[in-house]
Structure 1
């Protein structure tokens, strides 16, 4: 099993693997280009997003700056908008449905690490260095017609149902069922969204 296959299967994987580092660097270079391209250069932006993302539907709008880990694990449906300064750590899949609005400074994380320092970093070598931190990842799935408010953080393994509103500044640590309005730290369902 390759390190990429381990990563997508939720198993511990080596972030320093050459295949993963090659894609990571490619994504960082594409993001630098995307974040610096003229705002009105829609053809250039579409070319970069086609090369970067795992898949996308029609009418995707991402306002720069935008940041990813690998890019190729991110999938958008139709009619999605991502506002400026969003960070998608796509060590596992991030699947976003149709008609999704993501406000500024939203962070979506799929990667996590052991909380124990020895498990996370391994043994320190004689020269003072250590291995890449041990990492695992879990997918994030966002349904259709979702609005995620500014500054929200979506944690690894979370699924957000259809027709959900996540309030600004929320930290989403657990699944949110469809047709709900949820906010807070930690994020919790406040009322139905009918």
Structure 2
């Protein structure tokens, strides 16, 4: 079984196994993106199109942006990512439209075995992440491998998301758990 099949099946694979996939990494383009001025909107948008697997309309990602590959990240329309967004995208991260990600958030599709004897040659496993439309992820949150965050949900600052989050909830904590539903009463909060 080749590395791509092992990775796709969520099986352990090593750095040596993953070496043939290095051509998918966008490190030089990420560096170039991070060196552009915030006002260079057209240039930054063009670079995002070359870095990421797919990009919707009107993306905004503040520098610095970090990614393991970049090419495995897919974002929808009207995406906003604040400073220090990190994508550990050994496999796909799919982000819907109208998603906002606060500063210092990490979405990691990859983890490592618990037993030290299995961590040779950076042995690891990967599982895709899905962030559905209109999600807001608060500062310093971490989203772990295999998680889906449902439509419209809010992830509280500092949360560690290790399990799926249903649609239309506020979820917080370590580990992250739904705190309450988002309801029409929330339409009246924080209005100008």
TM-score, normalized by the shorter chain, greater than 0.5: yes
Counterpart secondary structure, 1:141: strand
| Number of equivalenced pairs | 182
Counterpart secondary structure, 1:72: coil
Instruction: Report what 1:124 is aligned to.
Output: none
Provide the rounded CA distance (Å) in 2 between the counterparts of 1:107 and 1:147.
13
Cα RMSD, aligned residues only: 1.3
| TM-superposition CA deviations, 1:21-63 (whole Å, max 9, x none) | 2333xx1111111111122112221221111111121111110
Listed as ranges, the matches of 1:1-194 within 5 Å are: 1-16=1-16, 17-24=18-25, 27-121=26-120, 132-194=121-183
Conserved 8 A contact 1:15-1:21 = no
CA drift at 1:8: 3.0
Counterpart secondary structure, 2:119: helix
Provide the rounded CA distance (Å) in 1 between the counterparts of 2:2 and 2:46.
29
* Structure 1 unaligned blocks of 5 or more: 122-131
Counterpart secondary structure, 1:95: strand
Provide the rounded CA distance (Å) in 2 between the counterparts of 1:18 and 1:170.
32
Name the TM-score, length of structure 1 as normaliser.
Answer: 0.89
* Structure 2 unaligned blocks of 5 or more: 184-192
Counterpart secondary structure, 1:67: strand
